[in-house]
Amino acid sequence: MDLKVASVIVCLCALAITSTEAGIPKCCIRVNRNISVRLLLKVKRWDIQESSSACDINALKLYVKMRKTPICADPMVMSDLERVHKQMKQNKWNAIK
């Protein structure tokens, strides 16, 4: 009976760890410095990863359409991303007029 109880506890612990990812953040371990404008146009949202938190490096996480995992970019890409999105908004506004 003790073996059954132990195996149930082990299974429940394994399920809890895999379903919650045990609170371990998904960090970028390296960054891509060459991001194309075409890829920047497909970005839905982005997050900033700071080295002062649980992760080791500064990075810009780009969440792209039709992609499950984010792309880790150099934080310097942020200015390019903002410029592309600003141009997209201006072009959309000009198309409406």
pLDDT of 45 > 70? The answer is: yes
pLDDT of 83 > 50? The answer is: yes
pTM above threshold 0.75? no
d(CA 60, CA 40): 12
pLDDT at 19 (0 to 100): 57
Between 69 and 89, the higher pLDDT residue:
69
pLDDT at 96 (0 to 100): 47
Q: What percent of the chain has pLDDT over 90?
A: 4
- Cα three-residue angle 35-71-86, rounded to 5 degrees: 55
CATH class of 26-96: mainly beta
Query: Cβ distance 65 to 36 under 8 Å?
Result: no
